[in-house]
Structure 1
């Protein structure tokens, strides 16, 4: 049953369990719908073989049983005995026999995620240690839009052939040409961006929500991604610390699917209430989450290679149109607004037909899994400037502090992240095993027609 997932995402790992902890029935259906039939057929064959094997029995004399079992035991025990001969110890990782290794990887990944969840909740209960100065600019409304699964090279604003970004292609502001996401999956990337990391550990008590509160901002969290109630983990737990919290999906087994445009009324309400307060409004989109065609009601303006890629291109266009509406809403309410848009992660080629990529999937092994759009625009932006030096999602909080014109001792960064200054910093990303790896060590697999 795990075979199709293994082909797509590899052996059981931490990221898979985090995804399981944060999913609902609709997202599960989208995930299953994204699995190619060719990946499912071997699983069916294996199940049939297993059923036939269980049905077919043959008595063997003891001597023949020993002759069959002994080589099997030698194969299973070979690696543990080899390890023991050099280390004088045996661990569960020493047993490399496939069935045992599979069960052990499941258990170890599950154990790490449960321990991480417990530690996160303990940290969230502690007070933050932020001590920021107040924002030192004239903006009264800060907007952060977190997109989903958008590859930078599939946006017209970044050179894609189809004009699917009318707003971001013409808006003024700062456009980062080499922004690298923190991770290749939503939970790890958004948490890695919005929570301070110190000595390799996330300090969940020091996150963007309580940082903004200490800046004197009223904080709104408006999400089209799920909330699981008391069992929330990761990003939704962070969002729930805001002054005003809206989750369109509650995460129940029958959770309804919503369009990102359904966030607009809640954004409008956040804009108009507390007229004199300075605000941070964070919107978390479903964006281009697979299944892509589910995001766009199976309708697209222009065909591109395959139906799924056509839907993907359209989903990016729909997000761009939403950004335009957010900007228009803020302007029509006479707000002095500034807005950041970025995607949580990119995607990699999933499989090919006749040499062409026809679909995308999550991954952590190619640079394209982390190459995402990031730009800042504002009501008073007068020119369009490109920043070509590399910036990391792991430094997002430092960038946020500079964007709001605030100084925070825990985020001291001598580099001006909002300029084209070369920070001479090695870019790292979080892989599916929750480990930091060098971005430059990843394969470069650009999309080609």
Structure 2
């Protein structure tokens, strides 16, 4: 037996080194990048690397030894299969790390499985950049080692090979996460897919669960007629809105509404996540980090408004989440009328602009029902920004480079200008929604907010959804309430509460309690301390990460270390 083990060790050296490289290259890259570019202590990160590396190497050797004893002829085929999987999984994770500054998380699979072909191609195209050459180098080195595996038995050749990693890091500047996971890629993939599949299974029971919850609350509205609207924007960085002090007039209509006294702008509101899916689930239900209510056991906004006597509508310029089992769809389809501008399987050449929603708004405005509640989900400023607005809304030339741009933004001026144009177009969309609906029902209130923010090269060379650990702008969102003159006359006390609340800190996961106050709904499960426009409102910890960190903590950390 001992001779077989010695023979196995001698025979497997080249294969073992190939596997070690497939797992070690990404881990060493993360450690060295965090140390070199972010100033993170390498000892603790190296310990994390070993924690994730040792178990998978042990399993690999164990499988190899058993295979060697049972079938010396075929055992390497099994090992090479494991190596190929390792390269594929680690290559995916390395690509995610390079572009999104995180390692694989379950949300990555939600995005992949719930996006249509057109949006997927657009998304991939947005992130095809020079960073991905590092992934290609990773695969290329793996092929070289495989072709020359018998030559990589010497210590010096291995040391030489691994010097390539610090050289790559030194010649680049990757905005990596400060938190390296301890788990190896197989475990990360398993946990992520398991969580996703678990939610798909839960979906089967959610509709019946909502049906039971519907009978456990009361909601009363005594108005004879009213139109209440919730507009959900997409990827809106409030720091690019003129309403929040931006040096460009990106929202002229909404600025005019502030001056006329119809629009109230809340200055310090954040989202609970920096991606759409999980944020939306909290926007339209009573689920929040501090109440431990499961989504399937929560009360949803659509049911509240239906019970209060409103006809409910859901309009969306995003895909129907139902086709991939997202539980959010179960809330959407509880509305009386649901309209999507394009189905999940619609793979038209270009994504429709948000103006595609306006004919649907016209249709609702002609509905004779006197009490309406409407949710409108925009595509907003989703990447790619230049595809989010018609050419006639090019207010800022793509080559403009104003002095207030950061150095990173000046290098990426086309992207920043395109983003600002998308915000200008967003102002046009909001204006049309309000004016079309107010014509048929003057007693009207609208709450607009974005699902999450967007990193736009303020301090970090990155454009897109970014972990708030790296850039807090990923959760800094616009939040505003528009009211008609008739609504203001009928609801003077609510208007006073709104005026007194514009500077209070808030997190959008509690918006359902603000909405029932704004919409004059007497809700039996109301929590006054969670409505920002209620006199009994109380500030709470605004948690925005899986690590139970608050926005204030991350903001302070970011200000202390601008390179974080």
8 A Cα contact 1:339 1:378, kept in partner: yes
Equivalent position of 1:87 in the other structure: none
Equivalent position of 1:379 in the other structure: 484
Bigger CA radius of gyration: 2
For the residues of structure 1 that align with 2:125 and 2:194, how far apart are their CA atoms? Answer: 28
Q: What is the CA-CA distance between 1:37 and the residue it aligns to?
A: 1.8
RCO higher in 1 or 2 (8 Å CA, sep ≥ 6)?
1
Equivalent position of 2:17 in the other structure: none
Q: What is the CA-CA distance between 1:410 and the residue it aligns to?
A: 2.1
For the residues of structure 2 that align with 1:254 and 1:244, how far apart are their CA atoms? Answer: 24
Equivalent residue of 2:299, what SS? strand
Equivalent position of 1:319 in the other structure: 426
1:344 aligns with 2:438: no
Equivalent residue of 1:37, what SS? coil
For the residues of structure 2 that align with 1:137 and 1:162, how far apart are their CA atoms? Answer: 40
Decide whether aligned partners of structure 1 residues 138 and 157 sit closer, same or farther in structure 2, where only a CA change above 3 A counts: farther
Equivalent residue of 1:222, what SS? strand
CA deviation profile, 1:151-183 (whole Å, cap 9, x unmatched)? 111100111110010122121232211111121
8 A Cα contact 1:149 1:345, kept in partner: yes
8 A Cα contact 1:174 1:387, kept in partner: yes
For the residues of structure 2 that align with 1:205 and 1:186, how far apart are their CA atoms? Answer: 19
Moved more, 297-306 or 177-186: 297-306
1:169 aligns with 2:169: no
For the residues of structure 2 that align with 1:176 and 1:139, how far apart are their CA atoms? Answer: 27
Note the 1:35-434 alignment, pairs <5 A.
Answer: 35=127, 37-58=129-150, 101-126=184-209, 127=211, 128-129=213-214, 130-137=216-223, 140-171=226-257, 172-197=262-287, 198-203=291-296, 206-227=299-320, 229-252=322-345, 254-255=347-348, 257-273=351-367, 275-296=368-389, 300-302=394-396, 303=400, 305=410, 306-349=413-456, 359-365=463-469, 366-380=471-485, 385=499, 387-414=502-529, 417-418=532-533, 423-429=538-544, 431=545, 433=546
**Bigger helix fraction:** 2
TM-score with structure 1 length normalisation? 0.82
Equivalent position of 1:15 in the other structure: 107
Equivalent residue of 1:341, what SS? strand
Query: Number of residues paired by the alignment?
Result: 409
Q: RMSD of the alignment, in Å? A: 3.1
**Bigger strand fraction:** 1
For the residues of structure 1 that align with 2:120 and 2:345, how far apart are their CA atoms? Answer: 12
Gaps of 5+ in 2: 1-90, 159-179, 402-409, 489-494
Q: What is the CA-CA distance between 1:215 and the residue it aligns to?
A: 1.1
8 A Cα contact 2:114 2:324, kept in partner: no
Equivalent residue of 2:202, what SS? helix
Q: What is the CA-CA distance between 1:200 and the residue it aligns to?
A: 4.8
8 A Cα contact 1:131 1:214, kept in partner: no
1:439 aligns with 2:551: yes
TM-score with structure 2 length normalisation? 0.66
For the residues of structure 2 that align with 1:345 and 1:204, how far apart are their CA atoms? Answer: 24
Moved more, 170-179 or 133-142: 133-142
8 A Cα contact 1:120 1:204, kept in partner: no
For the residues of structure 2 that align with 1:31 and 1:106, how far apart are their CA atoms? Answer: 21
Decide whether aligned partners of structure 1 residues 293 and 134 sit closer, same or farther in structure 2, where only a CA change above 3 A counts: same
Decide whether aligned partners of structure 1 residues 97 and 418 sit closer, same or farther in structure 2, where only a CA change above 3 A counts: closer
Q: What is the CA-CA distance between 1:255 and the residue it aligns to?
A: 4.7
Decide whether aligned partners of structure 1 residues 176 and 133 sit closer, same or farther in structure 2, where only a CA change above 3 A counts: same
Moved more, 239-248 or 226-235: 226-235
8 A Cα contact 2:103 2:181, kept in partner: no
Decide whether aligned partners of structure 1 residues 348 and 234 sit closer, same or farther in structure 2, where only a CA change above 3 A counts: farther
Q: What is the CA-CA distance between 1:5 and the residue it aligns to?
A: 1.3
Decide whether aligned partners of structure 1 residues 309 and 236 sit closer, same or farther in structure 2, where only a CA change above 3 A counts: farther
Decide whether aligned partners of structure 1 residues 376 and 334 sit closer, same or farther in structure 2, where only a CA change above 3 A counts: same
